[in-house]
Structure 1
Amino acid sequence: MGTDQERRRAPELRVDEWIGPDGQPLDRPVRLGDLGSGFRIIFCFQHWCPGCHAHGFPTLRYLYDRLADSDIGIAVIQTVFEGAEENTSDKLRIDQEKYGLAVPFGQDVPPEGRDLPTFMEDYRTGGTPWFTIIDPEGAIVYAGFQLDPDALLEVLGVGR
């Protein structure tokens, strides 16, 4: 695993709007520590993104099924860098249910006066679908559009 961002420290999440694994609004933002102390997978999407539905969510679902009994934390964030009229927060629950993902989903829109959502700005992402893998020490060990789930499972030592 690796990209040009390899070993960069993962910034704390600044996404304020979240729904929990049960689809209900959370009363406080999700932070990295809420995802556990092991490896963490953060998947960024936009509801209207064809690649998110054709490749990203199926890859995430594949990992979710195989990591269910592990200590690996997963969160999903809709990074609204375009299409704000379509990529609304009500789409979080729609996609959470569609893919059967009982994990937190966040809605990240650009702060006032900014062009990019906080996750895209802090993590230097390139769009959607985007996978970010954070190791137990808090370093970003992978960030990119395409993720080979079987290679990740092998690195994590989790059976397929």
Structure 2
Amino acid sequence: MESGIVGLPAPPLEHVRWIDDNGDERSPLTLAELGRGFKILYFFQDWCAGCHAHGFPTLVTLAEKFHGKGVGMAAIQTAFEGSDVNTFDRLRENQRRYGLRVPFGHAVADPVLADAVLAIMETYRSSGTPWFVVIAPDGRVVYDGFRLDAASLVRALRPLAA
């Protein structure tokens, strides 16, 4: 699988089962529903130590800094392994554990794909977890990778965020 989609239009959020920012199951989420400004997607697994040590704290910082500033966010669990542990029910637990009032999704395996790679991972070309994607208001991906420095992103987006 080729890694990274920086500069390309962000793909739709397909084959994902969602809960809303209150933890209630909801219909599929679109990127447009995250707003017209910048969007941040966070891909994780419940059992991923790096997701809890780095990824979630980064997302919490970003959620606090951009609250009310027009930056949309969503977290997506990509259970490409350990599907017996990385379950849909873990979404609410992680949402509450970190106090994140953002939609959470659980990637559902695409029956067309023969291997263990999930459709959302294929379309976003993520290489594991924790993985961040930042999408500009024009719909193009401007960041796609493992490590995201929250302070640097806040400095870069603050003048551009609504």
Question: With structure 2 as the length reference, what TM-score do the two structures score?
Answer: 0.92
Indicate the SS of the match to 1:127.
coil
Indicate the SS of the match to 2:51.
helix
Would you say the 8 A contact 1:41–1:72 is kept in 2? Answer: yes
User: What is the Cα deviation at residue 15 of structure 1?
Assistant: 3.3
Alignment of 1:38-49 (within 5 A): 38-49=37-48
The answer on 1:59 being equivalent to 2:96 is: no
Provide the residue aligned with 2:157 in structure 1: 156
Per-residue CA shift, 1:5-27, capped at 9, x if unaligned? 3211111110331000000110x
In the TM superposition, structure 1's runs of 4+ consecutive aligned residues that sit over 6 Å from their partners are: none
User: What is the Cα deviation at residue 42 of structure 1?
Assistant: 0.2
Provide the residue aligned with 1:78 in structure 2: 77
Indicate the SS of the match to 2:41.
strand
Indicate the SS of the match to 2:111.
coil
Alignment of 1:77-116 (within 5 A): 77-114=76-113, 115-116=116-117
Would you say the 8 A contact 1:46–1:129 is kept in 2? Answer: yes
Distance 2:15 2:24 in 1: 16
Q: What value does the CA root-mean-square deviation take over the aligned residues? A: 1.3
Would you say the 8 A contact 2:4–2:126 is kept in 1? Answer: no
Provide the residue aligned with 2:16 in structure 1: 16
1:47 maps to amino acid: D
Indicate the SS of the match to 1:143.
strand
User: What is the Cα deviation at residue 66 of structure 1?
Assistant: 0.7
Would you say the 8 A contact 2:17–2:108 is kept in 1? Answer: no
Distance 2:15 2:58 in 1: 23
Indicate the SS of the match to 1:84.
coil
Question: With structure 1 as the length reference, what TM-score do the two structures score?
Answer: 0.93
Unaligned runs of 5+ in 1: none
Would you say the 8 A contact 2:17–2:28 is kept in 1? Answer: yes
Indicate the SS of the match to 1:41.
strand
1:130 maps to amino acid: W
Distance 1:4 1:77 in 2: 17
2:5 maps to amino acid: Q
Q: What is the count of residue pairs matched by the alignment?
A: 155
Provide the residue aligned with 1:35 in structure 2: 34
Unaligned runs of 5+ in 2: none
